[in-house]
Structure 1
Amino acid sequence: MKKIRVSVPVATIWTSPESVRSIDAQAIADQPDMVAWLKTMTREETIALCGEKRLQSQVLFGDEILIDEVKGPWAKICVPTQYSTKDKRGYPGWMPLGQSVESEMATDCQQIKVQSNVATFYDLQKQPIFDLSFGTFLPLLEESEDEVKVDSPIGPGFMYKKDILMPVQQHLHTGFEIVKNAEKFIDLPYLWSGMSAYGYDCSGFSFSMLRAGGYLIPRDADDQALQGEEITLQSALPGDLLFFAYEKGKGYVHHVGIYYGDGKMIHSPTPGKIVSITVLKGSKYEEELCAIRRYWKG
């Protein structure tokens, strides 16, 4: 059955077509260049993505989208894998129509998962097409000693086994395994609405680490804080999600981190910062802590 799927490594979801600035041209191209886009922006321009609420989310290669409306080169969409109270069908926003394709990608196969921070996807002639982000899932077609043949929205291709996890290697992660994946991104610059190895926002980081571990949770921090198993701070274990609210924990939930153990959390803090490990005691987060939720099993 044909579905509309993302045909680029990372598609950025915008608040509206008018949200795009001239400096964002490389992000909205039919073949976006995330590295060049992020490198081109100044620190102030990167922070403005948040301050001016230009972005909503991102979605990875092969993920399904639903299109509600087409306006020129733009599509109003929602993302079924990203639960949100903004739209019960999935996270809403606008993305370039050219970054998606109608696809009959196999759905009855087991999936590989990209485990390296980024991994090259090759065509059938073994020529590199582009790099895929950690947490990308694709159907497995065949395997050999060092590589796999996978299906994709743009047709079959090859990847090296060193960059992926085979279906037999995948399982529901423990909290420690969630933290171990999170550690791979220490020092990665924050990106508002980011959902890839090129940059995460706070809830994009928790969503992506949990999804890589086999758990599909809501996209935004305030929605994440309402689900999962409620945990006390005394009972918190690595891999639990910590939520923080304005007004000393009584207001709107504005941040989420992953409990690291020993009174610390690993998180993507805020625009202009990097993924880091923070001691809770004595920090602003200590008085803003409002909820702890456990999604992982085992």
Structure 2
Amino acid sequence: MSEQMIEQQSGELWITEVQVATVWTDPESARSIDRPGLTNPTNLDQWMDELTFEKRVALCDENRVQTQLLYGESVIITETKDEWARVVIPSQPSKKDRRGYPGWVPLKQLTRVKKSKWNKDTTAAVTSRFAWLESANGEPVMKLSFMTMLPVIREQEDWLEVATPDGPLFIEQQHVELFPTASGLQQQSGQKLLQSGEPYIRLDYFWGGMSSFGYDCSGFTYAMHKANGYQIPRDADDQLAAGVSVKTEDVMPGDLLFFAYKEGTGGLHHVGFYYGDGKMLHSPQTGKGIELTELKGTIYEKELCGAARYWQQTEEK
């Protein structure tokens, strides 16, 4: 497919058709070792198992990966080049594009659906770390990440029939939370943000990660806010700018802490949750897992440059 614009009909949506679609800086960013994350279907477990430490670091240091999409997440296609689509992601706010986070995705990982078949009154959000989509006869179809969201067609006693890019499929009720599509998940407290993140302690960091296969620092804070009814920007600097500013001496559990090079005076490079008692819950860096760590006496204490709050906006109403 040559470089062109794909017409997006008002009655249609472009939807992510794989468990997790990685959004690349440009079509040349992907490497041969990344193939399990480029196909349809993807195999995220295989991809991450095969990536060496050096290959993981290169995703960041060589500016290869921007963010990720979850199954069922919608995009706007702005351009195609060969077998790739340039997209913006409306559900991931960013200063890079007012319409949403930009980047490139293999076109085979996206599909068109009619809005009339996709838009339902109720949506199911995956609240387990993983959940399996199954066929009508109980065959496993796809391993879904935490916070994958799909429209609900029909509720049964222990199962839900959900709309997917691959047609109606089934998921166990115990792995999801249902919410009215129009109003979204109920907004929760700062403590709830932390409770959502605690099960992911020791999960390996993954640059650009937005799924329970692996999060980066701002992907982790984004996902835990999403799980508790808040849409916040995708990147750490945008998260600081958009939140309610909090003095660092006044932080409360669930607030976001931000860190910058040159002992807090340089470029912002990290974000984590204030946990209380001088501790932080965060996804630190390649080669380490999500952790609960003391701030005192660490590089983080020296680099702390700001704090922001999202949960207070609702609780003060």
Paired residue for 2:32?
Answer: 22
Pairing 1:118–2:121 present? no
Pairing 1:177–2:192 present? yes
Stretch of structure 1 that moved more, 217-226 or 64-73: 64-73
Paired residue for 1:53?
Answer: 63
Matches within 5 A, 1:264-283: 264-283=279-298
User: Secondary structure at the residue paired with 2:74?
Assistant: coil
The match for 1:195 among 210, 213, 234 is 210
Question: In structure 2, what is the Cα distance between the partners aligned to 1:35 and 1:139?
Answer: 26
Equivalent position amino acid for 2:42 in 1: P
Paired residue for 1:258?
Answer: 273
TM-score, normalised relative to structure 1: 0.97
Question: In structure 2, what is the Cα distance between the partners aligned to 1:291 and 1:179?
Answer: 19
Equivalent position amino acid for 2:218 in 1: S
Matches within 5 A, 1:1-298: 1-104=11-114, 105-167=117-179, 170-296=185-311, 297-298=314-315
8 Å contact from structure 1 (residues 259, 265) kept in 2 = yes
8 Å contact from structure 2 (residues 120, 153) kept in 1 = no
Following TM superposition, where does structure 1 have runs of at least 4 consecutive aligned residues deviating by more than 3 angstroms?
Answer: none
8 Å contact from structure 2 (residues 120, 152) kept in 1 = no
8 Å contact from structure 1 (residues 103, 154) kept in 2 = no
Question: In structure 1, what is the Cα distance between the partners aligned to 2:262 and 2:50?
Answer: 36
Distance 1:170 1:76, change over 3 A: closer
User: Secondary structure at the residue paired with 1:226?
Assistant: helix
Shift of 1:233: 2.6
Stretch of structure 1 that moved more, 245-254 or 181-190: 245-254
User: Secondary structure at the residue paired with 1:18?
Assistant: coil
Stretch of structure 1 that moved more, 149-158 or 201-210: 149-158
Shift of 1:9: 1.0
Equivalent position amino acid for 1:44 in 2: E
User: Secondary structure at the residue paired with 1:285?
Assistant: helix
TM-score, normalised relative to structure 2: 0.91
Shift of 1:117: 0.3
The aligned length equals: 298
Query: Any unmatched runs of 5+ in structure 2?
Result: 1-10
Equivalent position amino acid for 1:58 in 2: Q
Query: Any unmatched runs of 5+ in structure 1?
Result: none
Shift of 1:126: 2.7
Shift of 1:123: 2.3
Shift of 1:167: 2.3
8 Å contact from structure 1 (residues 146, 162) kept in 2 = yes
User: Secondary structure at the residue paired with 2:28?
Assistant: helix
Per-residue deviation, residues 130-182 of structure 1 (Å, max 9, x unmatched): 11100111111211211111112221111001111122895212111110110
Question: In structure 2, what is the Cα distance between the partners aligned to 1:34 and 1:285?
Answer: 31
Question: In structure 1, what is the Cα distance between the partners aligned to 2:79 and 2:135?
Answer: 32
Question: In structure 2, what is the Cα distance between the partners aligned to 1:247 and 1:47?
Answer: 22
Question: In structure 1, what is the Cα distance between the partners aligned to 2:264 and 2:162?
Answer: 46
Equivalent position amino acid for 1:29 in 2: T
Question: In structure 1, what is the Cα distance between the partners aligned to 2:112 and 2:185?
Answer: 28
8 Å contact from structure 2 (residues 185, 227) kept in 1 = no
Question: In structure 2, what is the Cα distance between the partners aligned to 1:166 and 1:109?
Answer: 10
Q: Please tell me the root mean square deviation across aligned C-alpha atoms, in Å.
A: 1.4
Shift of 1:124: 2.9
Equivalent position amino acid for 2:212 in 1: A
